Structure 1
Amino acid sequence: MSGRLRRAAAALVLAIGVVTGVAACSLLGGASNVPVATDAPPKGTDGAVDFDGGFITVGDGAKKVDIWFDAMCPVCGAFEQTNGATLAGAVDDGSITLRLHPLTFLDAASNGTGYSTRAAAALTCVAVTDENAVLPFYQALFTDQPEENSSGLTDKELAKRAADAGAGDISSCLSDSGPYQAWAQANTANSQKGPIEVDGKKALDTIKGTPTVLVNGKQYPGGVTDKKAFTAFLADN
Protein backbone atom coordinates (compact mmCIF):
# COMPACT_ATOMS: atom_id res chain seq x y z
CA MET A 1 0.00 0.00 0.00
CA SER A 2 1.36 3.44 -0.91
CA GLY A 3 2.05 6.07 1.74
CA ARG A 4 -0.84 8.19 0.52
CA LEU A 5 -3.25 5.26 0.74
CA ARG A 6 -1.99 4.37 4.22
CA ARG A 7 -2.56 7.95 5.33
CA ALA A 8 -6.07 7.98 3.85
CA ALA A 9 -6.87 4.70 5.57
CA ALA A 10 -5.59 6.03 8.88
CA ALA A 11 -7.62 9.20 8.48
CA LEU A 12 -10.73 7.15 7.77
CA VAL A 13 -10.23 5.07 10.90
CA LEU A 14 -9.76 8.20 12.99
CA ALA A 15 -12.71 9.89 11.34
CA ILE A 16 -14.91 6.94 12.29
CA GLY A 17 -13.64 7.43 15.83
CA VAL A 18 -14.90 11.00 15.85
CA VAL A 19 -18.44 9.78 15.14
CA THR A 20 -18.39 7.74 18.34
CA GLY A 21 -16.95 10.56 20.41
CA VAL A 22 -13.33 9.37 20.33
CA ALA A 23 -10.69 12.06 19.76
CA ALA A 24 -9.30 12.42 16.27
CA CYS A 25 -5.54 12.99 16.24
CA SER A 26 -4.67 12.25 19.86
CA LEU A 27 -2.89 14.84 21.97
CA LEU A 28 -1.18 12.11 23.98
CA GLY A 29 2.27 10.75 23.21
CA GLY A 30 6.00 11.23 23.70
CA ALA A 31 7.70 14.48 22.90
CA SER A 32 11.31 13.88 23.91
CA ASN A 33 12.78 15.25 20.67
CA VAL A 34 10.51 18.26 20.29
CA PRO A 35 12.20 21.67 19.99
CA VAL A 36 10.90 24.02 22.70
CA ALA A 37 10.45 27.70 21.91
CA THR A 38 11.92 29.89 24.65
CA ASP A 39 10.88 33.38 23.54
CA ALA A 40 8.11 35.28 25.29
CA PRO A 41 4.80 34.88 23.43
CA PRO A 42 3.33 38.11 22.03
CA LYS A 43 0.31 39.72 23.65
CA GLY A 44 -2.58 41.79 22.37
CA THR A 45 -3.57 41.73 18.72
CA ASP A 46 -1.66 42.16 15.49
CA GLY A 47 -3.31 41.94 12.09
CA ALA A 48 -5.65 38.94 12.15
CA VAL A 49 -4.07 37.44 15.28
CA ASP A 50 -5.62 37.66 18.73
CA PHE A 51 -2.64 36.55 20.79
CA ASP A 52 -4.52 36.77 24.08
CA GLY A 53 -7.46 34.78 22.72
CA GLY A 54 -5.22 32.18 21.10
CA PHE A 55 -6.61 32.36 17.57
CA ILE A 56 -6.32 33.80 14.08
CA THR A 57 -9.44 35.40 12.62
CA VAL A 58 -10.83 35.09 9.11
CA GLY A 59 -14.01 36.95 8.13
CA ASP A 60 -16.40 39.01 10.20
CA GLY A 61 -19.73 37.18 10.21
CA ALA A 62 -21.99 37.00 13.25
CA LYS A 63 -21.71 33.20 13.55
CA LYS A 64 -18.44 32.06 15.13
CA VAL A 65 -16.68 28.87 14.01
CA ASP A 66 -13.64 27.80 16.02
CA ILE A 67 -11.23 25.10 14.82
CA TRP A 68 -8.38 23.67 16.90
CA PHE A 69 -6.02 21.97 14.47
CA ASP A 70 -2.49 20.71 13.92
CA ALA A 71 -0.96 21.17 10.47
CA MET A 72 0.40 17.61 10.49
CA CYS A 73 -2.82 15.95 11.68
CA PRO A 74 -4.24 13.82 8.81
CA VAL A 75 -7.74 14.02 10.25
CA CYS A 76 -7.53 17.82 10.18
CA GLY A 77 -6.57 17.44 6.55
CA ALA A 78 -9.55 15.16 5.92
CA PHE A 79 -11.87 17.71 7.58
CA GLU A 80 -10.47 20.55 5.48
CA GLN A 81 -10.69 18.58 2.24
CA THR A 82 -14.34 17.72 2.97
CA ASN A 83 -15.62 20.92 4.56
CA GLY A 84 -13.12 23.62 3.67
CA ALA A 85 -15.09 24.89 0.68
CA THR A 86 -18.22 25.15 2.82
CA LEU A 87 -16.39 27.23 5.42
CA ALA A 88 -14.68 29.39 2.79
CA GLY A 89 -18.03 30.08 1.17
CA ALA A 90 -19.52 31.08 4.52
CA VAL A 91 -16.58 33.43 5.12
CA ASP A 92 -16.98 34.96 1.67
CA ASP A 93 -20.72 35.58 2.01
CA GLY A 94 -20.30 37.14 5.46
CA SER A 95 -22.07 34.37 7.35
CA ILE A 96 -19.27 33.37 9.70
CA THR A 97 -16.16 34.46 11.49
CA LEU A 98 -13.66 31.61 11.31
CA ARG A 99 -11.22 31.41 14.20
CA LEU A 100 -8.21 29.18 13.73
CA HIS A 101 -6.43 27.83 16.82
CA PRO A 102 -3.09 26.30 15.71
CA LEU A 103 -1.74 23.55 17.97
CA THR A 104 1.66 21.88 17.95
CA PHE A 105 1.37 18.48 19.63
CA LEU A 106 2.43 16.57 16.51
CA ASP A 107 5.88 18.15 16.70
CA ALA A 108 6.65 14.76 18.19
CA ALA A 109 5.94 13.17 14.79
CA SER A 110 8.20 15.31 12.58
CA ASN A 111 11.68 13.87 13.13
CA GLY A 112 12.76 16.64 15.46
CA THR A 113 12.05 19.47 13.00
CA GLY A 114 9.17 20.92 15.03
CA TYR A 115 7.00 21.05 11.92
CA SER A 116 3.68 21.73 13.65
CA THR A 117 5.22 24.66 15.53
CA ARG A 118 6.89 26.02 12.38
CA ALA A 119 3.68 25.72 10.37
CA ALA A 120 1.76 27.52 13.13
CA ALA A 121 4.39 30.28 13.13
CA ALA A 122 4.16 30.55 9.34
CA LEU A 123 0.39 30.96 9.53
CA THR A 124 0.91 33.62 12.19
CA CYS A 125 3.43 35.42 9.98
CA VAL A 126 0.86 35.47 7.19
CA ALA A 127 -1.87 36.66 9.55
CA VAL A 128 0.08 39.65 10.81
CA THR A 129 1.13 40.75 7.30
CA ASP A 130 -1.87 40.06 5.04
CA GLU A 131 -5.24 39.12 6.50
CA ASN A 132 -6.59 38.27 3.06
CA ALA A 133 -4.01 35.52 2.60
CA VAL A 134 -4.79 33.67 5.86
CA LEU A 135 -7.47 31.35 4.53
CA PRO A 136 -5.66 30.53 1.25
CA PHE A 137 -2.49 29.70 3.19
CA TYR A 138 -4.39 27.64 5.76
CA GLN A 139 -5.90 25.67 2.87
CA ALA A 140 -2.43 25.29 1.33
CA LEU A 141 -1.13 23.66 4.52
CA PHE A 142 -3.48 20.75 3.82
CA THR A 143 -2.72 20.49 0.10
CA ASP A 144 -0.23 17.63 -0.32
CA GLN A 145 -0.09 17.63 3.46
CA PRO A 146 3.11 16.14 4.94
CA GLU A 147 2.59 12.74 6.51
CA GLU A 148 3.05 12.08 10.20
CA ASN A 149 6.59 10.91 11.03
CA SER A 150 8.01 12.86 8.10
CA SER A 151 10.09 16.00 8.52
CA GLY A 152 7.27 18.18 7.19
CA LEU A 153 7.81 21.16 4.94
CA THR A 154 10.99 23.19 5.22
CA ASP A 155 10.77 26.88 6.09
CA LYS A 156 11.61 27.64 2.47
CA GLU A 157 8.69 25.47 1.31
CA LEU A 158 6.36 27.11 3.84
CA ALA A 159 7.42 30.53 2.58
CA LYS A 160 6.73 29.48 -1.00
CA ARG A 161 3.25 28.25 -0.14
CA ALA A 162 2.60 31.54 1.65
CA ALA A 163 3.76 33.51 -1.38
CA ASP A 164 1.63 31.37 -3.67
CA ALA A 165 -1.33 32.13 -1.37
CA GLY A 166 -0.77 35.85 -1.91
CA ALA A 167 1.01 36.69 1.33
CA GLY A 168 4.25 37.95 -0.12
CA ASP A 169 7.63 36.90 1.27
CA ILE A 170 7.47 35.72 4.90
CA SER A 171 11.03 34.35 4.93
CA SER A 172 12.39 37.01 7.28
CA CYS A 173 9.40 36.60 9.57
CA LEU A 174 9.97 32.85 9.71
CA SER A 175 13.65 33.29 10.54
CA ASP A 176 12.67 35.49 13.52
CA SER A 177 9.50 33.67 14.52
CA GLY A 178 10.54 32.51 17.99
CA PRO A 179 7.77 34.49 19.74
CA TYR A 180 5.14 33.09 17.36
CA GLN A 181 6.42 29.57 17.94
CA ALA A 182 6.27 30.14 21.69
CA TRP A 183 2.70 31.41 21.34
CA ALA A 184 1.59 28.31 19.47
CA GLN A 185 3.26 26.00 21.98
CA ALA A 186 1.72 27.92 24.89
CA ASN A 187 -1.71 27.57 23.26
CA THR A 188 -1.14 23.82 23.04
CA ALA A 189 -0.24 23.61 26.73
CA ASN A 190 -3.25 25.75 27.65
CA SER A 191 -5.53 23.55 25.58
CA GLN A 192 -4.72 20.72 27.97
CA LYS A 193 -5.21 22.76 31.13
CA GLY A 194 -8.59 24.22 30.25
CA PRO A 195 -11.21 25.28 30.60
CA ILE A 196 -11.77 26.16 26.96
CA GLU A 197 -13.76 29.37 26.77
CA VAL A 198 -15.44 30.83 23.70
CA ASP A 199 -16.55 34.45 23.89
CA GLY A 200 -16.29 34.43 27.67
CA LYS A 201 -18.26 31.21 28.22
CA LYS A 202 -16.92 27.75 29.02
CA ALA A 203 -17.35 25.48 26.01
CA LEU A 204 -15.16 22.47 26.86
CA ASP A 205 -13.01 21.19 29.70
CA THR A 206 -10.00 20.67 27.45
CA ILE A 207 -9.13 19.98 23.82
CA LYS A 208 -8.96 16.20 23.55
CA GLY A 209 -7.94 15.89 19.90
CA THR A 210 -7.83 17.61 16.56
CA PRO A 211 -9.74 18.78 14.75
CA THR A 212 -12.05 20.12 17.43
CA VAL A 213 -14.72 22.26 15.77
CA LEU A 214 -17.20 24.52 17.55
CA VAL A 215 -20.02 26.52 16.00
CA ASN A 216 -21.22 29.29 18.30
CA GLY A 217 -19.63 27.44 21.20
CA LYS A 218 -21.22 24.05 20.42
CA GLN A 219 -18.95 21.15 19.47
CA TYR A 220 -19.54 19.44 16.15
CA PRO A 221 -20.14 15.75 17.03
CA GLY A 222 -20.16 14.19 13.56
CA GLY A 223 -17.62 12.55 11.31
CA VAL A 224 -14.94 14.74 9.78
CA THR A 225 -15.70 13.42 6.29
CA ASP A 226 -19.48 13.72 6.59
CA LYS A 227 -20.08 16.88 4.60
CA LYS A 228 -23.86 16.69 4.87
CA ALA A 229 -23.75 16.41 8.66
CA PHE A 230 -21.34 19.30 9.07
CA THR A 231 -23.22 21.55 6.68
CA ALA A 232 -26.42 20.89 8.63
CA PHE A 233 -24.68 21.53 11.96
CA LEU A 234 -23.26 24.78 10.67
CA ALA A 235 -26.68 25.91 9.47
CA ASP A 236 -28.52 24.93 12.67
CA ASN A 237 -26.22 26.52 15.26
Structure 2
Amino acid sequence: MTNTEPAPPRDPEPYPPAYGQAPFPAAPKTNTLAIISLVSAFFVSLAAVITGHLALGQIRRTHEGGRGLAITGLVLGYVGIAATTLALVIAVVVAATVIPLIAAAVNGAVGDQPWSSSTSEPQTDEANANASQEALPTGTVGAAHFDDGYLSVGTGAALVDVYFDPMCPYCRQFEETNGGELAVLATDGTITLRLHSLTFLDRVSQGTAYSTRASAALTCQATLNPENLLAFQAALFANQPAENSAGLGDSELAALVDNPVDIDDCLAAGEYQAWSRANTEQALNGMIADAEVTRIRGTPTVLVNGSVYDGGLTDPAEFLGFLSSNSVG
Protein backbone atom coordinates (compact mmCIF):
# COMPACT_ATOMS: atom_id res chain seq x y z
CA MET A 1 0.00 0.00 0.00
CA THR A 2 1.40 3.26 -1.00
CA ASN A 3 1.86 5.92 1.69
CA THR A 4 0.30 9.07 0.42
CA GLU A 5 1.20 11.32 3.41
CA PRO A 6 3.67 14.06 2.59
CA ALA A 7 7.17 13.73 4.06
CA PRO A 8 8.02 16.16 6.91
CA PRO A 9 9.96 19.28 5.82
CA ARG A 10 13.75 19.15 6.07
CA ASP A 11 15.97 21.92 7.49
CA PRO A 12 17.71 23.92 4.76
CA GLU A 13 21.34 23.22 4.18
CA PRO A 14 23.67 26.07 5.42
CA TYR A 15 25.16 28.19 2.72
CA PRO A 16 28.76 27.23 2.12
CA PRO A 17 31.31 30.05 2.23
CA ALA A 18 31.94 31.77 -1.02
CA TYR A 19 34.80 30.42 -3.05
CA GLY A 20 38.16 31.84 -1.91
CA GLN A 21 36.70 33.72 1.14
CA ALA A 22 38.87 33.36 4.33
CA PRO A 23 37.41 33.43 7.83
CA PHE A 24 37.45 36.91 9.60
CA PRO A 25 40.97 37.30 11.16
CA ALA A 26 41.45 37.90 14.93
CA ALA A 27 42.90 41.32 16.04
CA PRO A 28 46.68 41.10 16.69
CA LYS A 29 47.97 41.35 20.26
CA THR A 30 49.28 44.78 21.33
CA ASN A 31 52.99 44.75 22.12
CA THR A 32 53.61 45.20 25.86
CA LEU A 33 56.74 47.32 25.46
CA ALA A 34 54.83 49.71 23.21
CA ILE A 35 52.36 50.32 26.03
CA ILE A 36 55.20 50.75 28.53
CA SER A 37 56.91 53.24 26.20
CA LEU A 38 53.81 55.42 25.95
CA VAL A 39 53.11 55.39 29.68
CA SER A 40 56.71 56.00 30.75
CA ALA A 41 56.98 58.97 28.37
CA PHE A 42 55.04 60.99 30.95
CA PHE A 43 57.42 60.09 33.78
CA VAL A 44 60.85 58.91 32.58
CA SER A 45 61.73 60.11 29.08
CA LEU A 46 64.81 57.92 28.73
CA ALA A 47 62.83 54.79 29.60
CA ALA A 48 60.24 55.76 26.98
CA VAL A 49 62.91 56.01 24.29
CA ILE A 50 64.54 52.70 25.18
CA THR A 51 61.30 50.71 25.43
CA GLY A 52 59.96 52.41 22.29
CA HIS A 53 62.90 51.20 20.19
CA LEU A 54 62.67 47.71 21.68
CA ALA A 55 58.93 47.62 20.96
CA LEU A 56 59.40 48.56 17.29
CA GLY A 57 61.98 45.80 16.91
CA GLN A 58 59.66 43.20 18.42
CA ILE A 59 56.71 44.40 16.33
CA ARG A 60 58.70 43.94 13.12
CA ARG A 61 59.49 40.35 14.11
CA THR A 62 56.17 39.26 15.65
CA HIS A 63 53.74 41.47 13.68
CA GLU A 64 52.11 42.49 16.95
CA GLY A 65 50.04 45.65 17.24
CA GLY A 66 51.07 48.82 19.03
CA ARG A 67 53.39 50.39 16.49
CA GLY A 68 51.59 53.73 16.87
CA LEU A 69 51.90 53.55 20.63
CA ALA A 70 55.63 52.85 20.38
CA ILE A 71 56.20 55.75 17.98
CA THR A 72 54.21 58.10 20.21
CA GLY A 73 56.22 57.01 23.22
CA LEU A 74 59.46 57.57 21.30
CA VAL A 75 58.46 61.07 20.19
CA LEU A 76 57.35 62.10 23.66
CA GLY A 77 60.50 60.58 25.15
CA TYR A 78 62.82 62.48 22.84
CA VAL A 79 60.88 65.71 23.46
CA GLY A 80 61.22 65.15 27.21
CA ILE A 81 64.97 64.54 26.93
CA ALA A 82 65.41 67.67 24.82
CA ALA A 83 63.40 69.76 27.29
CA THR A 84 65.39 68.42 30.25
CA THR A 85 68.70 69.12 28.50
CA LEU A 86 67.63 72.66 27.63
CA ALA A 87 66.53 73.28 31.22
CA LEU A 88 69.90 72.07 32.52
CA VAL A 89 71.79 74.30 30.10
CA ILE A 90 69.70 77.32 31.10
CA ALA A 91 70.25 76.51 34.79
CA VAL A 92 74.02 76.32 34.30
CA VAL A 93 74.10 79.59 32.36
CA VAL A 94 71.95 81.36 34.95
CA ALA A 95 74.07 80.00 37.80
CA ALA A 96 77.28 81.06 36.08
CA THR A 97 75.90 84.54 35.44
CA VAL A 98 73.72 85.39 38.42
CA ILE A 99 75.71 83.86 41.29
CA PRO A 100 78.87 85.91 40.60
CA LEU A 101 76.75 89.06 40.32
CA ILE A 102 75.11 88.33 43.66
CA ALA A 103 78.48 87.63 45.25
CA ALA A 104 79.91 90.79 43.71
CA ALA A 105 76.99 92.84 45.03
CA VAL A 106 77.49 91.41 48.52
CA ASN A 107 81.20 92.27 48.42
CA GLY A 108 80.50 95.69 46.96
CA ALA A 109 81.36 94.90 43.34
CA VAL A 110 79.42 96.66 40.63
CA GLY A 111 79.47 97.37 36.92
CA ASP A 112 82.16 95.83 34.79
CA GLN A 113 84.88 96.34 37.39
CA PRO A 114 85.35 94.27 40.52
CA TRP A 115 84.84 96.38 43.65
CA SER A 116 87.00 94.08 45.75
CA SER A 117 89.23 91.15 44.95
CA SER A 118 88.95 87.73 46.51
CA THR A 119 91.71 88.75 48.86
CA SER A 120 90.36 92.27 49.32
CA GLU A 121 87.33 91.13 51.26
CA PRO A 122 87.83 92.47 54.76
CA GLN A 123 88.46 90.05 57.57
CA THR A 124 89.11 91.03 61.14
CA ASP A 125 92.33 89.45 62.35
CA GLU A 126 93.66 89.13 65.88
CA ALA A 127 96.01 92.09 65.49
CA ASN A 128 93.13 94.39 64.54
CA ALA A 129 91.01 93.04 67.37
CA ASN A 130 93.74 93.81 69.90
CA ALA A 131 94.56 97.26 68.49
CA SER A 132 91.83 98.98 70.46
CA GLN A 133 93.50 97.82 73.68
CA GLU A 134 96.73 99.71 72.90
CA ALA A 135 97.35 103.37 73.67
CA LEU A 136 96.42 105.37 70.57
CA PRO A 137 97.36 108.90 69.53
CA THR A 138 94.73 111.59 69.88
CA GLY A 139 94.05 115.05 68.51
CA THR A 140 95.25 116.40 65.19
CA VAL A 141 98.85 116.38 64.02
CA GLY A 142 99.54 117.72 60.55
CA ALA A 143 97.01 116.04 58.23
CA ALA A 144 96.27 113.20 60.67
CA HIS A 145 92.95 113.47 62.51
CA PHE A 146 93.50 110.74 65.05
CA ASP A 147 90.21 111.03 66.93
CA ASP A 148 88.20 110.86 63.69
CA GLY A 149 90.28 108.07 62.12
CA TYR A 150 91.40 109.60 58.83
CA LEU A 151 94.06 111.62 57.05
CA SER A 152 92.70 114.79 55.50
CA VAL A 153 93.64 117.06 52.61
CA GLY A 154 91.64 120.10 51.54
CA THR A 155 88.92 122.18 53.18
CA GLY A 156 86.07 121.97 50.65
CA ALA A 157 82.43 121.58 51.62
CA ALA A 158 82.07 118.28 49.79
CA LEU A 159 83.42 115.34 51.79
CA VAL A 160 85.09 112.51 49.87
CA ASP A 161 86.05 109.48 51.95
CA VAL A 162 88.25 106.82 50.36
CA TYR A 163 88.68 103.49 52.16
CA PHE A 164 91.54 101.44 50.73
CA ASP A 165 94.23 98.91 51.55
CA PRO A 166 97.75 99.66 50.27
CA MET A 167 97.98 96.09 48.90
CA CYS A 168 94.56 96.04 47.22
CA PRO A 169 95.02 95.87 43.40
CA TYR A 170 91.61 97.41 42.70
CA CYS A 171 92.44 100.30 45.00
CA ARG A 172 95.42 100.91 42.76
CA GLN A 173 93.12 100.99 39.72
CA PHE A 174 90.95 103.62 41.38
CA GLU A 175 93.97 105.69 42.49
CA GLU A 176 95.59 105.60 39.06
CA THR A 177 92.32 106.64 37.40
CA ASN A 178 90.97 109.22 39.84
CA GLY A 179 93.74 110.10 42.29
CA GLY A 180 95.06 113.00 40.23
CA GLU A 181 91.65 114.64 39.88
CA LEU A 182 90.93 114.21 43.59
CA ALA A 183 94.26 115.83 44.41
CA VAL A 184 93.43 118.85 42.24
CA LEU A 185 89.96 119.22 43.80
CA ALA A 186 91.39 118.93 47.31
CA THR A 187 94.16 121.44 46.59
CA ASP A 188 91.84 124.07 45.10
CA GLY A 189 89.42 123.79 48.02
CA THR A 190 86.56 122.11 46.15
CA ILE A 191 86.52 118.99 48.33
CA THR A 192 87.83 117.69 51.62
CA LEU A 193 89.56 114.39 50.83
CA ARG A 194 89.66 111.99 53.77
CA LEU A 195 91.87 108.91 53.46
CA HIS A 196 91.19 105.73 55.43
CA SER A 197 94.10 103.31 55.00
CA LEU A 198 93.08 99.80 56.15
CA THR A 199 95.21 96.81 57.08
CA PHE A 200 93.17 93.64 56.49
CA LEU A 201 95.47 92.43 53.70
CA ASP A 202 98.30 91.85 56.17
CA ARG A 203 97.37 88.19 55.79
CA VAL A 204 98.68 88.12 52.21
CA SER A 205 102.10 89.67 52.85
CA GLN A 206 104.00 86.58 54.07
CA GLY A 207 103.95 87.64 57.68
CA THR A 208 105.51 91.10 57.16
CA ALA A 209 102.27 92.99 57.97
CA TYR A 210 102.80 95.10 54.86
CA SER A 211 99.38 96.78 54.90
CA THR A 212 99.88 97.87 58.51
CA ARG A 213 103.41 99.16 57.85
CA ALA A 214 102.36 100.98 54.68
CA SER A 215 99.37 102.56 56.45
CA ALA A 216 101.63 103.64 59.30
CA ALA A 217 104.12 105.09 56.78
CA LEU A 218 101.29 107.10 55.21
CA THR A 219 100.37 108.39 58.65
CA CYS A 220 104.01 109.26 59.40
CA GLN A 221 103.96 111.26 56.19
CA ALA A 222 100.71 112.98 57.19
CA THR A 223 102.17 114.10 60.53
CA LEU A 224 105.67 115.06 59.38
CA ASN A 225 105.20 116.11 55.74
CA PRO A 226 101.47 116.80 55.24
CA GLU A 227 102.14 118.79 52.06
CA ASN A 228 103.51 115.58 50.47
CA LEU A 229 100.76 113.26 51.71
CA LEU A 230 99.02 112.73 48.36
CA ALA A 231 102.33 112.37 46.53
CA PHE A 232 103.30 109.65 48.99
CA GLN A 233 99.97 107.89 48.53
CA ALA A 234 100.40 107.97 44.73
CA ALA A 235 103.90 106.53 45.12
CA LEU A 236 102.57 103.77 47.38
CA PHE A 237 100.24 102.56 44.64
CA ALA A 238 102.73 103.14 41.84
CA ASN A 239 105.12 100.80 43.67
CA GLN A 240 102.44 98.46 45.00
CA PRO A 241 103.73 94.92 45.65
CA ALA A 242 101.79 91.89 44.48
CA GLU A 243 99.48 90.10 46.86
CA ASN A 244 101.13 87.13 48.60
CA SER A 245 104.52 88.86 48.51
CA ALA A 246 106.52 90.31 51.40
CA GLY A 247 105.97 93.85 50.15
CA LEU A 248 108.32 96.80 50.52
CA GLY A 249 110.68 97.10 53.46
CA ASP A 250 110.57 100.08 55.81
CA SER A 251 113.60 101.69 54.17
CA GLU A 252 111.96 101.31 50.75
CA LEU A 253 108.75 102.89 52.05
CA ALA A 254 110.67 105.82 53.49
CA ALA A 255 112.43 106.40 50.17
CA LEU A 256 109.29 106.54 48.02
CA VAL A 257 109.33 110.37 47.89
CA ASP A 258 111.79 113.10 48.81
CA ASN A 259 110.67 114.68 52.07
CA PRO A 260 111.77 117.74 54.02
CA VAL A 261 111.58 115.56 57.13
CA ASP A 262 112.69 111.91 57.06
CA ILE A 263 110.11 109.37 58.19
CA ASP A 264 112.67 106.61 58.85
CA ASP A 265 112.60 106.98 62.63
CA CYS A 266 108.82 107.08 62.67
CA LEU A 267 108.69 103.84 60.68
CA ALA A 268 111.39 102.16 62.74
CA ALA A 269 109.53 102.95 65.97
CA GLY A 270 106.34 101.39 64.60
CA GLU A 271 104.40 104.55 65.31
CA TYR A 272 100.78 104.59 64.15
CA GLN A 273 100.61 100.87 63.44
CA ALA A 274 98.18 100.30 66.32
CA TRP A 275 96.16 103.32 65.22
CA SER A 276 95.95 101.96 61.66
CA ARG A 277 94.73 98.58 62.94
CA ALA A 278 92.20 100.25 65.23
CA ASN A 279 90.84 102.24 62.29
CA THR A 280 90.47 99.00 60.35
CA GLU A 281 88.54 97.36 63.17
CA GLN A 282 86.25 100.38 63.38
CA ALA A 283 85.66 100.45 59.62
CA LEU A 284 84.83 96.75 59.44
CA ASN A 285 82.73 96.44 62.56
CA GLY A 286 81.68 99.87 63.75
CA MET A 287 79.14 102.39 62.56
CA ILE A 288 80.11 104.84 59.83
CA ALA A 289 78.45 108.14 60.59
CA ASP A 290 76.34 109.97 58.00
CA ALA A 291 76.81 107.32 55.30
CA GLU A 292 74.66 104.96 53.26
CA VAL A 293 76.68 102.00 54.56
CA THR A 294 77.16 101.03 58.18
CA ARG A 295 80.49 99.30 57.69
CA ILE A 296 83.09 98.60 55.01
CA ARG A 297 82.63 95.35 53.10
CA GLY A 298 85.26 95.71 50.39
CA THR A 299 87.92 98.03 49.04
CA PRO A 300 88.03 100.50 47.55
CA THR A 301 84.90 102.04 49.04
CA VAL A 302 84.37 105.68 48.10
CA LEU A 303 81.79 107.93 49.73
CA VAL A 304 80.83 111.39 48.52
CA ASN A 305 78.90 113.18 51.24
CA GLY A 306 77.97 109.73 52.53
CA SER A 307 76.75 108.38 49.17
CA VAL A 308 78.46 105.22 47.94
CA TYR A 309 80.08 105.33 44.52
CA ASP A 310 79.13 102.13 42.73
CA GLY A 311 80.45 102.86 39.26
CA GLY A 312 83.46 101.61 37.35
CA LEU A 313 86.87 101.93 38.93
CA THR A 314 88.60 102.84 35.68
CA ASP A 315 86.05 105.29 34.26
CA PRO A 316 87.10 108.83 35.29
CA ALA A 317 84.15 110.47 33.57
CA GLU A 318 81.67 108.30 35.44
CA PHE A 319 83.30 109.04 38.79
CA LEU A 320 83.52 112.78 38.10
CA GLY A 321 79.84 112.76 37.17
CA PHE A 322 79.01 111.07 40.45
CA LEU A 323 81.19 113.58 42.29
CA SER A 324 79.48 116.50 40.58
CA SER A 325 75.99 115.19 41.26
CA ASN A 326 76.78 114.98 44.96
CA SER A 327 77.31 118.65 45.70
CA VAL A 328 80.55 119.35 43.86
CA GLY A 329 80.10 122.46 41.79
TM-score where L is the length of structure 2: 0.61
Q: Output the CA distance in 1 between the equivalents of 2:178 and 2:152.
A: 18
Give the aligned partner of residue 243 of structure 2.
148
SS at match of 2:163: strand
Counterpart position of 1:169: 262
**Structure 2 equivalent of residue 158 of structure 1:** 253
Give percent identity, aligned residues only: 50
Aligned to 1:137: 232
What is the alpha-carbon distance in structure 1 between the residues aligned to residue 110 and residue 274 of structure 2?
29
2:213 aligned with 1:118, yes or no? yes
CA–CA distance in 2 between the matches of 1:68 and 1:102? 6
Select 2:150's aligned residue among 40, 46, 55: 55
Superposition deviation, residue 203 in structure 1: 3.6
Amino acid at match of 2:155: D
- Aligned partners of 1:125 and 1:171: how far apart in 2? 9
Cα distance change of structure 1 residues 21 and 154 upon mapping to structure 2, 3 Å threshold: closer
Task: Give the Å deviation of 1:168.
Answer: 2.9
Equivalent residues of 1:30, 1:108 under 8 A apart: no
CA contact (8 A) 2:216 2:270 kept: yes
User: Which gives a bigger RCO, structure 1 or 2 (Cα 8 Å, sep 6+)?
Assistant: 1
Residue matched to 2:110: 18
| Deviation readout 1:80-100 (Å, 9 max, x if unpaired) | 011111111212222111000
Using the TM superposition, give the Cα deviation of residue 28 of structure 1 relative to its aligned residue in structure 2, in angstroms: 4.1
Alignment partner of 2:303: what SS?
Answer: strand
Distance 1:152 1:235 in 2: 36
Amino acid at match of 1:189: E
Q: Structure 2 counterpart of 1:169, which letter? A: D
Structure 1: gaps (5+ residues):
1-13
Distance of 1:181 and 1:149 partners within structure 2: 20
Q: Which residue of 2 aligns with 1:234?
A: 323
What corresponds to 1:7 in structure 2? none
Identify if the C-alpha distance between structure 1 residues 159 and 77 changes in structure 2 by more than 3 Å, giving closer, same or farther: same
Which of 28, 43, 46 is 2:138 aligned to?
43
Equivalent position SS for 1:210: coil
Structure 1 residue 27 and structure 2 residue 121: aligned? yes
Q: Is the 8 A contact 2:113 2:312 kept in 1?
A: no
Change beyond 3 A, Cα 1:107–1:217: same
**Which string of whole-angstrom CA distances, capped at 9 and with x for unpartnered residues, describes residues 124-176 of structure 1?**
10111121011100111011311111111100000001x42x35310001111
Looking at structure 2, the residues matched to 225 and 146 of structure 1 have their Cα atoms a distance apart, in angstroms, of 20
Q: Distance in 1 between matches of 2:297 and 2:234?
A: 23
Q: Contact 1:104 / 1:120 at 8 angstroms: preserved in 2? A: yes
CA distance in structure 2 between the partners assigned to 1:226 and 1:97 by the alignment: 21
In the other structure, the counterpart of 2:3 is none
What's the CA shift for 1:202? 4.3
**1:182-214 deviation digits (Å, cap 9, x = unpaired):** 0110111111212111xxx24421100111001
The residue identity in structure 2 corresponding to 1:171 is D
User: Structure 2, unaligned stretches of length 5 or more?
Assistant: 1-103
Deviation at 1:18, TM superposition (A): 3.0
Q: Provide the residue aligned with 1:71 in structure 2.
A: 166
Contact 2:203–2:209, Cα closer than 8 Å, also in 1: yes
Q: Cα distance, 1:31 vs. partner?
A: 5.1
Number of matched pairs: 218
Q: Report the structure number with the largest CA radius of gyration.
A: 2
Q: Following the alignment from structure 1 to structure 2, what is the Cα–Cα distance between the partners of residues 51 and 32?
A: 22
By percentage of residues, which structure has more strand?
Answer: 1
Q: Which moved more, 1:20-29 or 1:132-141?
A: 20-29
Counterpart-to-counterpart distance in 1, 2:188 and 2:140: 25
**Counterpart-to-counterpart distance in 2, 1:214 and 1:153:** 29
Q: Does residue 218 of the first structure (1) align with residue 313 of the second (2)?
A: no
* 1:18/1:167 CA distance change after superposition, 3 Å: farther
**What SS class does the counterpart of residue 225 from structure 1 fall into?**
coil
2:274 corresponds to 1:185:
no
SS in 2 for 1:56: strand
Give, in angstroms, the shift of residue 60 of structure 1.
1.3
Q: Is residue 111–residue 149 contact of structure 1 (8 Å, CA) maintained in 2?
A: yes
